[in-house]
Amino acid sequence: MLEPIKHECGIAHIRLRKPLQYYIDKYGSATYAVNKLYVMMKKQSNRGQDGVGVANIKMGVDPGKRYISRYRTINSEPVEEIFGKIAKKFNKAKKKEGYNPKSAKWLKNNMGFTGEAWLGHLRYGTHGANSIESCHPFLRQNNWRSRNLVMAGNFNMTNVDELFELLIELGQHPKEKTDTVTVMEKIGHFIDEENQRIFDKYKKKKDNFEITEIIENEMDLQRVLKRSFKDFDGGYAMVGLLGHGASFVVRDPHGIRPAYKYIDDEVIVVASEKQAIKAAFNVDYDKINEVQPGHALIVHKNGEYDETPIMKQKELKACSFERIYFSRGNDPEIYQERKQLGRLLVPQILKAINFDLRNTVFSYIPNSAEVSFLGMMQGLDDYLMEKQKEVIIDKKPSLDDIDQMLSFRPRVEKLVIKDAKLRTFIADDASRDDMVANVYDTTYEVIRKGVDTVVVIDDSIVRGTTLEKSILTMLDKLEPKKIVVVSSAPQIRYPDCYGIDMSKIREFVAFRAMLQLLKDRYKENLLDEAYHQILANLDSDNQANYVQQLYNQFTQEEISAKITEIIRPEGLKAELEVVYQTVDNLHKACPGNQGDWYFTGDYPTNGGMRVVNKAFVNFMEGKTVRAY
């Protein structure tokens, strides 16, 4: 993607189902779990580079011994830093008196990160300052083990104000007004209530020491989570560890955020991506399944588990951007879907080049668009094969002889090269733009000047600024007849509020194109009409997306044509055309991920509808703040 956007975080959870001594005896080391967690987090580094955190809980340690360990960092190469610090703990332990690496009891009593419950998190901050305090996992501490809560997640809530007020109604005094704090404190409140409920049940029958054990064994986490999550509006996959060793994973009822699980006799594992589990545990893909939307995967203190509903499951709206761009492309399903995205663009591309394959060069914008590019080329091969059949079998006339037709292959070149080492140090805008234009380079003398058309494919076009300021000017230096820019994603028209850094509607080139079309056709009054409709209904519990009616004035082709005008740099000599994927083809390529609100405006929750309307109000009022 030319204009990378910060997006969804990554989670990694491992729960050992047997005592630590079992893994020492079987695998020869106490590092079994930490090594697996490291692989899982490295394989999900694409999901977060703003910060990393790891937490671990020991089970069965004596009072007075620390049983919760946590490291967090926002430094560069954060995964290596965190696990390097954990490795130092193991090395320092060697110098302690009585060091015994084969004894789980000694290790637990003498060093951290030797517990059975693990939680890792990779953060992409979608807003706000990047500080260590923003890094997951978060910790809610208490002297009762079963009241301690460690949490991390991949989530954004659209109703933080409402959740904040609910905490106040519960009698709390929250220290921050963020979705992370409100979510954790709300869950923590009901964990406290569950502890108290069981304590009151036994306080006249057992002593407090006995009651502590009873609470840990009888705690009804399904009840806790049902009460905690009933008011949440957003997309989320959350993981929580309790101090006594129980854990839970909860996924939103629309399945917006991903969460995959693998379970065997030794481990229960959860991650944001299948590939992370596959790489760490070398299991077949068919043994890795999704945590069901609206469900909680609850692991009890004894290592037994349940996957149980805590909310009514709603229409599946898994994020389609996971398949287009966010997730690693070596997941076999995602790989095939990205190829299909490229293949389905072929009819539009052929029309854009006027079916002149002999005078067209195909390329891609590195590096994540490569798989869609492969699919596009396979689609062109299929098209050529059909044409060959028409001439050879159906005896249709052709300008080429049979030998020429059978030997022809579309021309492929690597035209766009990113110089990752080139940095823009100059502060003033004019100089910076000049430097940005040189971050990318091209391959010269492979385009026939004034004859060839250049087709380049990218994952998506969000703002269009890099195309305008760099790529198009660079490609124009090759002197092609025409440049066709292809997006394997549809037009991004609406903000996201479920975990992607796309909250300001004015930044989207599709929105700017729609505004210009309204102006060109003397329909700017529709902006004011939409603005006043939103203001009149902003507090409604059944919101409509009033921005959709503005886009509905125009066809996709009309908006694409206007985008072409907007991103065309001054002085560009070549003809230019921008081609976008259609929403229908997106759904064909990615049938399991139907979440498409950033393309269609069809948000799965009322909070999402409220966010898009608020974003439009901010635009109309000249505000540059986030809409949620």
Tell me, what's the pLDDT at 423?
Answer: 45
Each residue of 482-520: pLDDT tens digit? 999 999 999 999 999 887 767 789 999 999 999 999 999
Q: Taking all residues of the chain, what is their mean pLDDT, rounded to a whole number?
A: 91
Looking at per-residue pLDDT, the higher value among 152 and 402 belongs to: 152
CA 578 to chain centre: 26
Q: Which residue has the tokens 């009888």?
A: 218
pLDDT exceeds cutoff 50 at 424 = no
Instruction: Give the list of residues 6+ apart from residue 175 with CB closer than 8 angstroms, or none.
Output: 181
Q: Which CATH number fits domain 320-619: 1.10.630.10, 3.40.50.2020, 3.40.50.920, 3.40.50.10490?
A: 3.40.50.2020
pLDDT exceeds cutoff 70 at 395 = no
Count CB-CB contacts under 10 A for residue 71: 21
Q: Average of pLDDT values for 6-29?
A: 92
Q: Are 434 and 473 contacting, i.e. CB atoms less than 8 angstroms apart? A: no
Of 528, 160, 536, 487, the residue nearest 338 (C-alpha)? 487
How far apart CA 609 and CA 544 sit, in angstroms, is 6
How far apart CA 425 and CA 89 sit, in angstroms, is 39
Each residue of 536-570: pLDDT tens digit? 998 788 889 999 999 999 999 999 999 999 999 99
CA atoms within 13 A on the CB side of 470: 21
How far apart CA 600 and CA 513 sit, in angstroms, is 16
How far apart CA 555 and CA 334 sit, in angstroms, is 29
Looking at per-residue pLDDT, the higher value among 419 and 291 belongs to: 291
How far apart CA 401 and CA 271 sit, in angstroms, is 55
Tell me, what's the pLDDT at 497?
Answer: 87
Domains of the chain, residue spans = 4-315, 320-619
Tell me, what's the pLDDT at 403?
Answer: 65
pLDDT exceeds cutoff 50 at 28 = yes
Full DSSP string of 5-42: -----EEEEEEESS-HHHHHHHHSSTTHHHHHHHHHHH
Each residue of 216-252: pLDDT tens digit? 999 999 999 999 999 999 999 999 999 999 999 999 9
Q: Which amino acid is at 319?
A: C
Of 141, 137, 140, the residue nearest 118 (C-alpha)? 137
Q: Are 534 and 613 contacting, i.e. CB atoms less than 8 angstroms apart? A: yes
Output DSSP code: residue 575.
E
Give the pairing type, strands 453-458 and 360-364: parallel
Contacts 24+ apart (CB under 8 A), 351-359: 352/455, 352/484, 352/577, 352/579, 353/453, 353/455, 353/482, 353/484, 356/453, 357/384, 357/408, 357/410, 358/408, 359/448, 359/451, 359/452, 359/453, 359/481
Give the pairing type, strands 482-487 and 575-580: parallel
- Which is it for the CA torsion 95, 98, 101, 106, positive or negative? negative
Full DSSP string of 163-207: HHHHHHHTT---S--SHHHHHHHHHHHHHHHHHHHHHHHHTTTS-
The 3 state secondary structure assigned to 606-628 is HHHHHHHHHHHHHHHCCCCCCCC
Of 57, 33, 37, the residue nearest 148 (C-alpha)? 57
Tell me, what's the pLDDT at 429?
Answer: 45
Each residue of 311-334: pLDDT tens digit? 999 999 999 999 998 898 889 999
| Overall fold of domain 4-315 | Glutamine Phosphoribosylpyrophosphate, subunit 1, domain 1 (3.60.20)
**pLDDT cut 70: percent of the chain above it:** 92
Q: Which amino acid is at 88?
A: K
